[in-house]
Amino acid sequence: MEIQTLKYLVLLPAVILYLRLPAARPPWSWWTGGLLLAGMAVEGLGFWLASQGWSNLLYFNGYMVLEFALILGVQNSMTAARKGRVYRVSVAATIFLAALLQEGLGTDLRSGFLTRTLVVGGLLLAVSGVDVLFRMARRSDSPLAGRADFWMLVSVVTYFLCFIPTMGLYHYVGEKDIVLAEAIYGINDYLFILRYGLLAYSLHLLGRNLKRHGRDLQ
């Protein structure tokens, strides 16, 4: 089975589970809907552009910025204290925008991928996600394994903590062995599947918990 097919097989259940959620739901789930929509679009259109022999780098560079904003929105909506939310957005957005401008101004966005910005953004989202997880663990009265928002955060943190060293190894090996570098880059496809598989499980838990207990249960 082709890897692209596997990606859709894990994306589609997540979309279906999301569409079945009631309108009364926690704020973070609305941001998650944007992530799913963007994920479907980037996979579909990106694959089609590549199959036509056209460059999809400009498209993926734009998606990277959108994804960063959406995931930061998810994490921010899970933070109860307003001071914590303002601090997280201010610091993360400033560092990300600085990296984006520094690399973007010297790169042709149609033919070059903003790799350093992607790594910086991924690291920021992973660190921010771990911070939210620790805050959640301190204030939660219920087991984290039964919380949908916990698995949503785990999907993001796991993905980016594994993605960053994979990309680093890809660029290091790429200078010496292109075939091996392409094989290493393929690891990202399986990280994608893991990420959206965990997200689908998160949405399954959310739907079940909302049905049982109402909007306040995450």
Q: At what angle do helices 148-174 and 57-77 cross, to 10 degrees?
A: 150
- Predicted TM-score (pTM) of the model is 0.88
The predicted pLDDT at position 28 comes to 94
The predicted pLDDT at position 215 comes to 52
The predicted pLDDT at position 191 comes to 93
The predicted pLDDT at position 195 comes to 95
The predicted pLDDT at position 69 comes to 94
The predicted pLDDT at position 1 comes to 59
First to last CA, the chain: 35
What is the distance of C-alpha 196 from the center of its chain? 9
CA distances from 46 to 49, 167, 176, 184 (A): 5, 19, 27, 20
108: how many CB neighbours lie within 10 A of its CB?
9
CA distance 86 to 10: 34
What is the distance of C-alpha 154 from the center of its chain? 10
With beta carbons less than 8 A apart as the criterion, state whether 203 and 18 touch.
yes
| DSSP H stretches of helix in 105-186 | 115-139, 148-174, 178-185
Amino acid letter, residue 167: M
With beta carbons less than 8 A apart as the criterion, state whether 7 and 39 touch.
no
CA distances from 194 to 6, 47, 54, 81, 172 (A): 11, 19, 28, 30, 24
With beta carbons less than 8 A apart as the criterion, state whether 7 and 193 touch.
yes
CA distance 69 to 29: 14
Which residues in the chain land under pLDDT 70? Answer: 1, 46-56, 109-111, 214-218
pLDDT digits (tens, 9 = 90+) for 98-115: 999 988 887 776 667 788
CA distance 58 to 112: 8
The predicted pLDDT at position 133 comes to 94
The predicted pLDDT at position 218 comes to 56
